Amino acid sequence: MKIPCNIFLVTILFSISGKAQDNNLIADGAELQLVADGFEFTEGPAADSQGNVYFTDQPNNRIHKWSVEDNKINVFMEDAGRANGLYFDADNNLYAAADKHSEIWMINSNKEVSVLLGGFRGQRFNGPNDLWIAPDGGIFFTDPFYKRDYWKHTEQPIKEQRVYYLTPNRKGLFIAAEDLVKPNGIIGTVDGKTLYVADIEDNKTWKYSIGKDGKLEDKTLFTELGSDGMTIDEQGNLYLTGDGVTVFNPKGEKILHIPVDKEWTANVTFGGKENKTLFITAMDSLYSLEMNVSGR
């Protein structure tokens, strides 16, 4: 993700509004904690089945792992394809939107990489950014264009910045949505029936029904706020990033804002032993916050 030029630094104290307290999402007495800093730009947090959290430092081309056992961070993978968004499947394979060559990767437990996709109908993808794996194994991913200094090309390969769908058997690749300006963050509900897509340039987040064979239907404006990455909790609340973390209930009502004293928050996920720790990637840092709700 490239930070929009109109984002500016705001120093803000961590506080919770009365309405947020009524929702009781944050654990009693919990405060935002700095887990680690010193990175260049953190992105793509995703938790495995044990609650370990993996995240990317895209400019340094690494994937890091935070361990639930000792609270330490180690490099999981060097030369990580300039990975951005990450997501785990039910078999604990790690998937990555690896935009060095505009690919979708699967990384198994032995750190062996399989390149699943690199383009659509003979054209290179613009730059896969974020992805979500549905309960049936199908993959939705966003393909915006952010010009990278490590690419040889400078023009956008595909005119439309789309959402794509890769079928569970990995044999079919389809356009899921292309009526967006710049789709970025993406997440779906645990029942596999609803997909949220953030259009970061249009500053909107859209809600779709997922129909047969991954077809997106009933596009509805969820909120007039875009996002970089996003996650969802067990209650169906949606967590958007950019200016701290803003939480909306399933009706699209804002119920909480978590300030983060950084210029930009890129992404967010739940992890930890009970899946009740919210992890936030923000510029050069990784933060955590204990919650009363768990991730999906």
**239: number of Cβ within 10 Å:** 27
pLDDT of residue 7: 34
Query: Tokens standing for 45?
Result: 């947090």
Report the alpha-carbon distance of residue 44 to residue 29 in Å, rounded.
27
SS (H, E, C) 250-295: CCCCEEEEECCCCCCCCEEEEECCCCCEEEEEECCEEEEEEECCCE
pLDDT of residue 263: 96
* DSSP per-residue string spanning 205-224: EEEEEE-GGG-EEEEEEEES
First-to-last CA distance in the chain? 24
Task: Domain ranges for the chain, please list them.
Answer: 18-290
Residue 120: partners with Cβ closer than 8 Å, 6 or more residues away = 158, 164, 173, 175
DSSP state of 76: E
Burial of 102 (C-beta count, 10 Å sphere; 0-12/13-18/19+): buried
Q: Which of 94, 3, 100, 114 is nearest to 44 (CA)?
A: 94
pLDDT of residue 22: 52
pLDDT of residue 20: 41
Residue type, 259: P
* Stated pTM of the model: 0.92
The hierarchical CATH code for the domain 18-290 is 2.120.10.30
Instruction: Please compute, for residue 259, the number of CA atoms within 13 A of its CA located in the half-sphere on the CB side.
Output: 10
Q: Which of 184, 181, 131 is nearest to 160 (CA)?
A: 181
Residue type, 127: G
Angle at CA of residue 257, ends 253 and 263, nearest 5°: 130
Residue pLDDT tens, the chain, 296 long: 544 433 333 333 334 443 444 579 999 999 999 999 999 999 999 999 999 999 999 999 999 999 999 999 999 999 999 999 999 999 999 999 999 999 999 999 999 999 999 999 999 999 999 999 999 999 999 999 999 999 999 999 999 999 999 999 999 999 999 999 999 999 999 999 999 999 999 999 999 999 988 999 999 999 999 999 999 999 999 999 999 999 999 999 999 999 999 999 999 999 999 999 999 999 999 999 999 999 97
Q: Which of 230, 216, 132 is nearest to 176 (CA)?
A: 216
